[in-house]
Amino acid sequence: MFDVTLITMGKLKEKFYLSAAEEYCKRLKGFCNFHLIELPEYRLPENPSSAEISAGLEKEAEAIFSKIPKGAWLCVFTPEGKELSSEGFAAKLKEVKLSGKSSACFLIGSSFGISPTVKQKADFLLSMGPMTFPHHLARIMVLEQLYRAEAIQAGSKYHK
């Protein structure tokens, strides 16, 4: 079975986000070996300078690199990434599976973004569109889209 890992910066606190995340994680396990890894955001001062933000993102990058499964295809969610429809995302994931890779890793960065170092090492940059979403909501959206992509590939009626 294909391995899918989602790395996120920060923990969910609100019950409604936790409940939704648990549901999609449970559903995903019917299609793949799914793993969710939550990493702590680097603590920054109240009004951080750009140098402090850059240093924080590099610290986060170290933690991220230590958790990416060896040999995994890496997809980073970032505003400058490519926009895909749900069908396009499903096709991309299928393409990765057919390429011989045994795992895919997806990354949602922290509230200050993602280190350029991580973006450079990514196999694919994916955008959720031009709108800005809270990171906790973005996690639920990514989980739902991963589930939808797997359902599309399986020919399920979930995607209409």
| Average of per-residue pLDDT across 117-137 | 95
| Average of per-residue pLDDT across 77-91 | 97
CA contacts within 13 A on the Cβ side of 14: 9
Residue at 35 is within a domain: yes
Residue at 160 is within a domain: no
Task: Indicate whether 70 pLDDT > 80.
Answer: yes
Give the CATH number for residue 8. 3.40.1280.10
| Average of per-residue pLDDT across 74-90 | 97
Task: Indicate whether 159 pLDDT > 90.
Answer: no
Task: Indicate whether 160 pLDDT > 80.
Answer: no
Q: What is the number of domains present in the chain?
A: 1
Task: Indicate whether 17 pLDDT > 80.
Answer: yes
Token pair for 147: 């589930």
Query: Which residues form the domain of 69?
Result: 3-154
Tell me how crowded residue 3 is: count the other CB atoms within 10 A of its CB.
15
One DSSP character per residue, 60-102 reads HHHHHHHHSPTT-EEEEEEEEEEE--HHHHHHHHHHHHHTT-S
Span 45-68, pLDDT tens digits: 999 999 999 999 999 999 999 999
Residue at 159 is within a domain: no
Residue at 149 is within a domain: yes
Quote the percentage of the chain above a pLDDT of 70.
99
- pTM exceeds 0.85, yes or no: yes
Whole-angstrom CA distances from 30 to 34, 38, 76 are 9, 21, 24
